[in-house]
Structures are given as structure tokens and as C-alpha cells.
Amino acid sequence: MKLTTALKPLATLATTVMATAVVAAPAAQARGTVTTATLHGAAAFPNATGSAKFKRDGTKREFEAEVEHVRSLAGKRLGVFVHGTKVGTMRVGNLGRAQLNRSTELGQRVPRVSAGNRVNVRTAAGTLVATGKF
């Protein structure tokens, strides 16, 4: 009888874990659409690399862009443009990396992105740093 009493909490725990796994599994699956672009360095910054990602799930939209290997621009602000429209600015860190994140969930403006839209990253003076296409 003591063995049965000792196993009851274990059985309850196992049931809880299994129920949580069943509920969490659909949430872990990707929903909506994700569009990505690989960014390549322009003539003035041939070593620059980067990426841009657009996620859409119902009315929620997210946009991320990053560039790397632009150490000569450390401390400078770069503008990010999608299909000719400025999305925002990002500051280059000491290691030559900059990142921009936008989300409608945070009340931020996020561009609508379609396949074929161009992403450009430019200096404040307008020099092209990196470019790519969704």
C-alpha cells in the first residue's frame, strides 16, 4: 500500500508533463509566413554581410535587419530602407555589427514586404553599405 501511495504523485506529475507537452507542441510550430533576404556588401563596403527577415502572422508583423563586418563605421548610424521607404536606423557597435528590430506588437511601424522588394542599408550621407532582395 505504501508503494501505491508513493507512485500517485509520480503518476500525477507524468500526466501533467504529458498534458503540457501536448498543449505546447502546437504553439512551438511556426505560424504565418517568414520572408528572408541575404545582404551583400556594396562597392564601398565589400566585406559587409547581413540579413533581413520579415514575419507575418495575421495582423502581427515583425521586421529584423542586421549587418556585420563594418567596423570602420563603428559608432555611426545606418539607415535601413525597404522598397525605397526608410524603416529605421541602427547604430554600428564597436565590433562592426548593427541590428534593427521592429514589431507591430510594440506599436512600431513595420513595412509590408513582398517577394522582390529590395533592402538597402545606407550611411547617413547616403552611401550604400549593403543590399539584398526578399
- Domain 33-133: give its CATH architecture: Sandwich (2.60)
Beta strands in the chain (DSSP E): 33-41, 49-57, 60-68, 77-82, 85-91, 98-103, 118-123, 128-133
Residue 68 above 80 pLDDT? yes
Model pLDDT for residues 83-107, shown as the tens digit of each residue: 999 999 999 999 999 999 999 999 8
Domain ranges of the chain: 1-30, 33-133
Residue 82 contacts by C-beta under 8 Å, 6 or more apart in sequence? 52, 63, 111, 113, 117, 118, 119
Residue 25 confidence class, pLDDT cut points 50, 70, 90: very low
Q: Residue 47's pLDDT is what?
A: 95
pLDDT for position 114: 85
Mean pLDDT value across the chain: 84
